[in-house]
Chain A
Amino acid sequence: MQKIELMHKSFNILTGVIILIVFWYLLSLILNTPALPTPLTAFSSFFELFTSELMPHLTISFYRVGVSLLIATVLGVPLGLFIGKNKKADEFSAPLIYITYPVPKVVFLPIFLILLGIGNISKIVLITLTIFYLILVTTRDAARNLPKEYVLSVKSLRANEFELYRHVYFPACLPAILTSLRLGLGIAMSVLFLVETYATQEGIGYFIMNSWSSLAYDKMFAGIIAMGLMGFFLYLLLDAGEKVLCSWIHL
């Protein structure tokens, strides 16, 4: 059953990739400009540069996104669960979250560059801050809307606060947390690209923009493919995590 499902999913992904490549190919023929090379040229460049030029940039970008996702999760999930579970904490924090959540965090990039330097820290902090809110709000809402019946039944078994978090709040909110991580990943990749175009010579964002400014469009597309594949790989990882950790929602 699982094998059939996996084959079905692989087939869907393959179909999507083929459609995308055909569309790209047709567009490159229609536009007929060096700024949009054919898929064959771009992929040739990608495979040619993968180990030599792309890999070091890809590694640093992967590190920045991975660490940011991890920190945002470690901070956002417990805080979201706590706020969602405690009415007073919710009432206290709601206005603060309401005011700060809609502010685009990327506007703080210059401040972070000044305060935290041009190294990895300022970039990681900005990506973390952007996805932290998403995880916090999603987790809080999931904990807030948890059916009381689950809490009551476990409380009646004489569970303490920690056990309520462990057996009820965290597992109940896990599907929502993973959804927020998936959404956050897309945003993190966009912010990553932005932060890597300023004051750095490392990262796949820098590689793409540097190739663009030197009119090396095949290299630029090799970078875009690399960045796309990195996002796709992380997405698959989260998907697999959900399958393992939340098997009960797929019944």
Chain B
Amino acid sequence: MDYLSIESLQISYAQDNQITPALKDLSLSLPLGSIGVIIGPSGCGKSTLLSVLAGLNQNYQGTVLINNKSPKECDATALILQEYGLLPWKTTWDNVGLGLQIRGFSKKETVIRTEQILNKLGLFHLRKRYPAQLSGGQRQRIAIARSLVLEPELLLMDEPFSSLDALSREEMQDFLLELWQETNLTILLITHNIEEAVFLGQKIFVMSECPGTIIKKLSNPLAGDYSARGKIEFLETSNSLRSSLRGLN
């Protein structure tokens, strides 16, 4: 049973009195508790796709179902943006508790849940700091905490580790994997990084240039294996993916 199902998704924008298609006939599905990775050239509509799934864009044609509900009806999704989306004027504590506050949780419940998630992710000591006082990796962890505190079923991530240096990036990939193994979340992640796609994605979707559609679907048995990075199969899968992407240019 697919948790996320997209059939013939189509999105167009009106630009300079012309209709420009952004996504065309895009279909993909993702089972519950799996990690899907979307990879494709810049400007192919990957972020537009996530905005539809997050319920931020309802001007689309086709069928999009998350646990048999439309994105607008489904409140079990959480979105993490490339630049983390943390508000600079709120402390870690307030940023993490913001979603709970917005969704009408009581003050007591907000405090309990915020404290729990910060402790779980080892961030409690940073609770009084503002985003400007944190490193890129810490900010990303806090953005993840802000999403997880809402206990989502589907986590959408838009190039979440692209601003990090190579080592922090690998650390965050391991961290995400740990979280996924603990929580059984369904994750859909966008990346430009081929190795990241192979390391994390049980299903890898390659998108075409604009108007974006899925041109290749790959099932990846190496995903979720911490020791995969050094294996020959990992390099082979990465190279195969690289060839697919080069074919687009």
Q: Interface residues, chain A, CB within 8 Å of chain B?
A: 147, 149-150, 152-159, 163, 167-168, 171-172, 174, 246, 248, 251
Contact = CB atoms under 8 A, between A and B. Distances in A.
Contact of A251 (B79, B81, B84, B132): B132
A6 B56 CA distance: 46
A168 B87 contact: yes
Contacts of A150: 85, 87
Nearest to B89: A171
Interface stretch (B10-18, B97-105, B234-242): B97-105
Contacts of B78: 156
B88 A248 contact: yes
A156 B150 CA distance: 12
B75 interface: yes
B130 A158 contact: no
A92 to B, nearest CB: 20
B195 interface: no
B89 A156 contact: no
B54 interface: yes
A158 B79 contact: no
A150 B88 CA distance: 9
A157 B150 contact: yes
Which of A153, A158, A159, A167 has most B Cβ within 10 Å? A153
Contacts of B181: none
Contact of A246 (B54, B82, B89, B90): B89
Contacts of B98: 154, 157, 167
Contacts of B79: 152-153, 156
A155 B72 CA distance: 12
Q: In terms of DSSP, what is the predominant structure of the interface of chain B?
A: loop
Interface string B81-119: 111111111100000001100110000000000000000
A232 B42 CA distance: 53
Contacts of A246: 89
Contacts of A172: 87, 89
A149 to B, nearest CB: 5
Contacts of B77: 156
B102 A149 contact: no
B85 A152 contact: yes
Given A159-B102, A172-B89, A152 B132 contact: no
B58 interface: no
A69 B183 CA distance: 53
A163 B86 CA distance: 15
A158 B72 CA distance: 9
A57 B133 CA distance: 47
A251 B85 CA distance: 19
A27 B149 CA distance: 67
A174 B88 CA distance: 12
Nearest to A170: B89
A248 B150 CA distance: 26
